[in-house]
Amino acid sequence: MPDISDSNYSLFPAEKAAQDLSISLATLFELASQEKCSFLIDIPDAVEVYIRGRDTLRSGDGIFGRPANRRLQQEPLIRVHREIEFLCLKPSECSLLMHRVKIGKKVFPAVGLMNADGSVECIDTLSYTKRYPDQRHQKLNMFGGFLTYQPSEEGLDWLGQQQQPTTEKSVPIRTDSLLICANDLDKIARRSRATGRNYGKFEPEPWTSTMLAHLNEASTFFFSAGGNVDKAIIKDWFRQRWAHREVGRDVIEQATNAILPDHLYRDAPPRNQLSQDTINNYNDYASSALIIMNEAAKGYWKAMESRRTKKYFALRYTIIKELSGPDGKGFTRKLAGATATIIRPD
């Protein structure tokens, strides 16, 4: 997948864009709404896109000079120009995917095309009719959105006109099919940088190492909207941010386990060892393991700062024993070992 910094591309997968910006998909949709951006999907092969028009008839256009009956008004469907490659969606429509695996749509507010300079543009019905005036309907008044149909039969009808489609076709939309153009993504990136990283309720403090901050950020990024996430995607997220650090696969694996909601992590430490006041200090979606890691980091930091002479952070052996030992916090030894690496101050 292209990196969002690659100027050779004009379109990017929305999921990859959110990942590269270190924000959740829900946050991407929210920022896109604030910047009045659109998302796009490719027009599926088995779908034809039409725009509906209405011939505006004057009162004298009816039979024998009488006003035309409303039922006689034509509502022709005109297939969109072959340059149109995409269907466009509003961020509010995409936000529905935070609670569903997919959505289906048959009417779209705009369509997209790639200009000669490689830029991508979304145009609504009014802009479309100005760009592609249809000579067959001089009085055509376009309205509404763009409609998706099953492919129509080839050939002409008894009036010598192109066959009109008869069966509407819903287009399935999933998060992995959403695209966003480079110009819109640039606006979102600027706004995202202005608002800072998203940790939810959590606020990094002096005891928060960079790696631990990443865990809290990832927790919000992947789980603030609920649902399940492929662990491979989470591992890749950490791998990108820790590429310059000498951490092994085990640390990345255990960091991923640590932020999984308790019901998704088989070896999650028991939550009942945490007081309700402690739980309330963290995000609702924060796992028990992540809360314990934060509290451990805070405790070890305070102990270090309270020493009057030589200040040193807890030894690796001590951290592993206190988190995974018989009287520990219920961590596996591997998770405790990774924690010793993650919470160590920068």
pLDDT band at 141 (very low <50, low <70, confident <90, very high): low
Task: Tell whether 153 is covered by a domain.
Answer: yes
- State whether 228 and 80 are in the same domain: no
Distance CA 214, CA 218 (A): 6
Distance CA 220, CA 184 (A): 23
Task: Tell whether 166 is covered by a domain.
Answer: yes
Task: Tell whether 3 is covered by a domain.
Answer: no
Q: What is the pLDDT of residues 69-80, one digit of tens each?
A: 444 445 678 889
- State whether 263 and 238 are in the same domain: yes
pLDDT at residue 87, rounded to an integer: 96
User: Is a pLDDT exceeding 70 seen at residue 166?
Assistant: yes
pLDDT at residue 63, rounded to an integer: 41
- State whether 169 and 22 are in the same domain: yes
Q: What is the pLDDT of residues 83-105, one digit of tens each?
A: 999 999 999 899 888 778 899 99
Task: Tell whether 36 is covered by a domain.
Answer: yes
Residue type, position 299, single letter? G
- State whether 217 and 299 are in the same domain: yes
Task: Tell whether 192 is covered by a domain.
Answer: no
- State whether 43 and 171 are in the same domain: yes
Of 132, 159, 186, which one is at a domain's C-terminal end?
Answer: 186
User: Is a pLDDT exceeding 50 seen at residue 66?
Assistant: no
Q: Which position has the token pair 């066959």? A: 163
- State whether 24 and 173 are in the same domain: yes
Instruction: State the burial class of residue 311 (Cβ atoms within 10 Å of its Cβ: 0-12, 13-18, 19+).
Output: exposed
Task: Tell whether 5 is covered by a domain.
Answer: no
Q: Are 70 and 160 in contact (CB under 8 A)?
A: no
Q: Which range marks the domain in which residue 222 is found?
A: 197-342
Of 130, 158, 186, which one is at a domain's C-terminal end?
Answer: 186
- State whether 160 and 23 are in the same domain: yes
Q: Which one has a higher pLDDT value, 192 or 141? A: 192
pLDDT band at 229 (very low <50, low <70, confident <90, very high): confident
Task: Tell whether 4 is covered by a domain.
Answer: no
Task: Tell whether 2 is covered by a domain.
Answer: no
- State whether 15 and 73 are in the same domain: yes
Alpha carbon 151 to its chain centroid, in Å, reads: 30
pLDDT band at 143 (very low <50, low <70, confident <90, very high): low
Q: Which among 163, 179, 227, 164 has a CA at the least distance from the CA of 10?
A: 179
- State whether 24 and 135 are in the same domain: yes
- State whether 321 and 173 are in the same domain: no
Quote the number of domains for the chain. Answer: 2
Of 186, 219, 244, which one is at a domain's C-terminal end?
Answer: 186
User: Is a pLDDT exceeding 60 seen at residue 127?
Assistant: yes
- State whether 141 and 203 are in the same domain: no
